[in-house]
Structure 1
Amino acid sequence: MTEQKRANPAPLGLSGFALTTLVLSVYNAGLLSQGESAVLGLAAFYGGLAQLLAGILEWRAGNTFGYVAFFTYGAFWEWYFLTSMLGGAAAQGIGLVLIAFGIFTLVMWFGTFRSNLGLFMTFLLLWITFFLLGAGLMVNSTALVHAGGYVGILTAIAAWYTGLAAVVAEALGVSPPLGRPLMK
């Protein structure tokens, strides 16, 4: 009896993360100033629910790193959705949460040292994004928030490339370059 082939959940998780991060980062960078609520549906469903599902599927596949990463960032997007919908959260409180996620992401980044360069860059850029945004909110600095938005855009590009490279590899039998691991 052979085991049925299962889809790789990582491209779904990375794509949900990337698209939601890109849209919010455009606003954080100050490139758009109206319609920011457009990110809320993405945060609830594509950034949130899709990543939670990807995390559960990574758990079923026995991938602890993928499980922890996707489930945590899915929960982050659900937190963002609820915090935005309920309102009333002080900027400093949100900044503190972002810095805490930056610390978590920094630790997770160490887990990418034996992975490909695409994942390494995604986590590197993400912890920088969280720290810039968090610090910007803590000290009320538009410049830091804008810088965090721009780094967030780069984060989204790195995540999308990394996730979609797996889709292209499977669909076309061509492996886009993802770079070698830093450590063996």
Structure 2
Amino acid sequence: MTSDSPSIYLPGSLQGHFLISMPHMDDPNFAQTVIYICEHNESGAMGIVVNRPIEMDLGQLLQHLEFSYNSDLNDLIYAGGPVQNDRGFILHRHTANQWESCYDVTDELTLTTSLDILQAISEHSGPEQFLVALGYAGWGPGQLEQELSDNVWLSCPANLDIMFRTPAEERLQAAAATMGINLDLLTSQSGHA
């Protein structure tokens, strides 16, 4: 999109929203995913897939990082996206603590990328609600807007109960249900009138 063309696809930023993949999504990185959008502006967008757990759990990650940990830390770790999938991203509710590298996504949620938060989690002094992901999803300028106009994604305001309390395998349908949509009833074929 050029700067003189009106923004017909995106009236505002989708930061703090969910992207829900449409049933016809065939990209294996994003099929059947819910993505939490952490940043969205004229430079592009960045988000974390919040419903695709990987084989490693938090206790294993903390052990790999040589942090002391309690064996009850078996929280899931998520495949956050195909970009920098060797790097950790922690989405969490705001806390009084300030971590070395954090970014306030909304008034309620922060994205932290520094190891100090994992150390605090291992010592049970971190945030109560958090989601750990490896990697992220990224879009260049105008790319997400084009995908939205091509009916690749649905978007809705994020629901933190879905992200933090709903089992991973139920998050896709739960996010769609906040808009009154049953994804099982949508066709897997996309079309335009």
Whether TM exceeds 0.5 here: the answer is no
Q: Which has the higher strand share?
A: 2
Mark the structure with the bigger radius of gyration: 2
Normalised TM-score (structure 2): 0.30
Q: TM-score, normalised by structure 1?
A: 0.31
